[in-house]
Each structure stands twice: as structure tokens, then as C-alpha cells.
Amino acid sequence: MKIIISFLATAFLAAMTLGQEESASPPESTTPTTEEKASATIEETPAPKPAEATAPVAEKKAEPATSPTAPNREATTTTATKPAAPTTAAAPSGKKMSVEAALKDNENRWEASYGAHNISVAQSLVANDFVGVYWDGKVMSKSGLISEIKKDKDTYKSAKNEKLAVHAYGPNVAVVVGTAQEKGTGKDGKSFDRAFRFTDTWMLRNGQWQCVASQVMKLKG
């Protein structure tokens, strides 16, 4: 019996010892976890280092972004100063002078063609739908005007315009008012000195000025 009791006591003590070891083991396992968590948190704390690295990158990006703006502003100022030149103001006057010069040249060539009996000038300058009132009251078309030039047998010493005035009515229409002086000898041998006042209406068609209407009155001769 004593042997059995001592055996049981020994087994009980062994069981108690194992129970105490098992109960003591969990705290040892928990402490490493806390240390791992602590170490994990310590490893996560260096996260601000990338932020410090990004800060200079942002500064580097900001520097080139601001530097190009200076040449852009200079470019805008240069382009803004270009229109300040008085070229646009001079353009309308130049355009007006070119129209005036072209129409005066047309009128002078047209009048000179009468003295030379040259119908080609009237054919090129007079529109096909031309209508004119001659000094004696006749209403003429283009063909009638050219016919009068062909029938003219006078000999001219001079045929020129005076006091031409160009009045523009928009970019494509203009009126020329002037006087024409003609001197020479008629087919009857008598000298003549006559003057006319005319009003010619011109239109710009396909890049060419054409006379579409005209009215002439005789002042003398």
C-alpha cells in the first residue's frame, strides 16, 4: 500500500509540475508577440523618410515650373508690343490710296484712248453690263460706246483729265468725278477746244476695277 501511495503521490506531483509548466508557457509566447509588434511599429516609424525625400523632389519640380514662366512672359510682352506699331493704322490709308491711284490711272488711260482711237482700253475697262448717258443725251451700252470711238475722225493734240476725285463706297464700289479737256482738229479742219464733266461708277470684280455706269455733260466746245 505504501508503495502504491508513493507512486500516486509521485504521479500527482508530476502532473502538477506539468500543469505549472503549461500555465507558465503562455506568458513567454505573448511577450515575443508584443516585441514583434513593437519592432513592427519601430519599422513603420521610418515612413516619414520618404516624405523627406519627396520634399526636395517637389522643390526641384517647382523650380523648373517657375523658371519657364519668365521667358513666356517675355514672349507675350514682345507679341503684345508688335501690334503697337502703327502698321494697322497705315493699312487703311494705304488701301485707300491704292484704290484711288488705280482708278485715276484707269480714267487717264481711258481718256487718252480717245485721242489715240484705241478701243482696246475701253474694252478692258468698261463692264459688259455698262450703261452710260452721253453728253447729247444718248443712253449707251458698252457696244455703243465702242462704236462711238470707232466713228470718231477727229485729230487730237491732247486728251487729258483734270480734277479727278475718287469716292469709295465700301471695298468694291467707288465713284470718280472729274473733267476732261480735249484739243485738236475736227474732220472739217476746224480746231476744237472742248471740256466735259463726268461721273463714273466703278466696281471691283474678280480683282479688276470695271466701269459699270457713266454720265457725261459738255461744259464747252
pLDDT tens readout for residues 127-151: 999 999 999 999 999 999 999 999 9
pLDDT band at 31 (very low <50, low <70, confident <90, very high): very low
Return the SS3 of 171: coil
pLDDT of residue 15: 53
Average pLDDT over residues 25-30: 42
Average pLDDT over residues 25-53: 40
Residue 88 or residue 45, greater confidence: 45
Report which listed range, 25-34, 57-66, 102-111, is most confident.
102-111
> Residue 85 phi/psi, 5° resolution?
-65, 150
pLDDT of residue 108: 97
Average pLDDT over residues 35-42: 36
Task: Render pLDDT for 54-102 as a digit per residue (tens, 0 to 9).
Answer: 333 334 444 444 443 433 433 333 333 333 333 333 333 444 458 999 9
Under a CB-based contact definition with an 8 Å cutoff, are residues 172 and 186 in contact? no
Asked whether residue 39 carries a pLDDT value surpassing 90, the answer given is: no
Predicted model pTM: 0.56
Task: Return the closest-CA partner of residue 212 out of 138, 126, 124, 114.
Answer: 126
> Residue 166's CB: how many other CB atoms inside 10 A?
20
Mean pLDDT taken over the chain: 72
> Residue 178's CB: how many other CB atoms inside 10 A?
19
> Residue 109's CB: how many other CB atoms inside 10 A?
16
pLDDT of residue 12: 57
pLDDT of residue 221: 80
> Residue 11's CB: how many other CB atoms inside 10 A?
10
d(CA 179, CA 163): 6
